[in-house]
Amino acid sequence: MANKPHLAAEDSFTKDAPLSRLHIAYKHSYLSETFLDTAKKNAPMNIATKSAMLAVEAAIAIVINGIHYAVLMASPYQLEYLAIGFLYSEGLIQYSHELLDWNVTQLTDVESYPNFTPDSFIQNSFNEDSLSSNGTDEPMSLNQLTEQLQDYDVYVVELVLNQHCHQRIQAQRRQLAGRTGCGMCGITGLRQALPDLSEYQINKLLLSRAMPSLDDLLSIQVQINAAQHTHQLTGAVHAAATLHKQKLYLFEDVGRHNALDKLIGWQLRHKSEVNCVVITSRLSIELVQKSIRSRIPWLIGMSAPTSTAVRVAERYGLGLGGFLRDNRVTYYTGYADT
């Protein structure tokens, strides 16, 4: 296995987007040797000023063929892969070539908003909050909107899909306000949230052939730990990674589901076969659903799976492993079938 991980290339616009920012923080602590004295309330407390690097969490507005579709909270990097993976996970595209064109715009000030108002994402996304101070339903001015959003990094990803995909969008159109911790927030229909994935059933022979060994997984874990530069700075970023042709491809994001979407987008764009994905988080249901839809045989997490994730993985034949740490891994599904 290669020692040097390969970070997937990105467009010239977002490769320079800030992934972390410096912030001054104040650390309160007891000296370790005096900690046991705290019960006596006489242990001295140390207060130190420190420089903290914080992960950037940006609002990514997805506009498809002029239709506002979703707002994701994500790291503003590898947005092409994020968009492709998200569209695939949503069932809006089946192949990356169905994405005909795309463009990323950062909204930085009042001058950058008019191109996206009143019919695009600004009007639609913030309509419920766009009330004037007197309580009327008059939309707020651009200056008011700029002030409201001054604490946010806002990017608009405009996507052009072919006509066949456009029909899917119109049939499935909905408003979605994505949250960092939940890839299913905003989905109101149970059929959308809990889809039938029978057509993506994973072949048992492929599952057996693709099963990763403990040595392989531990090697990948070491490479991930070395390559997670933003997480090393901030401690707040997840990663999804896979080994392809002896190279580690790694995708970081503040949202674990976004990191997996980026990997799926890369997989589709480069038509790469992915046998195993390792993700630095717990294994929740949306990660299992995305993996099954992408026909990824094995999903391994560094933390625990949920009971629902395991049950769905069993139903559709996904190999699931967790607690990849401390020279061990625990297989929850797939092992008995290999």
Residues serving a catalytic function are: 182
**Cβ atoms of 190 and 90 closer than 8 Å:** no
Name, in order, each residue with C-beta under 8 angstroms of 5's C-beta and a sequence gap of 6 or more: 223, 224, 226, 227, 241, 247, 248, 249, 250
Picking from 14, 6, 16, 159, the residue whose alpha carbon sits closest to that of residue 86 is 159
Q: Is the dihedral of CA 45, 46, 47, 53 positive or negative?
A: negative
What does the block give as tokens for 296?
A: 């990824």
**Cβ atoms of 144 and 119 closer than 8 Å:** no
Rounded CA separation 132/198 (Å): 49
Backbone region of residue 216 per phi and psi (left: phi > 0; alpha: psi in -120 to 50; beta: other values): alpha
Looking up tokens 């929850």 gives: 332
Rounded CA separation 169/308 (Å): 28
Rounded CA separation 107/142 (Å): 12
- CA dihedral (266, 193, 101, 5) in degrees, to 10, reads -10
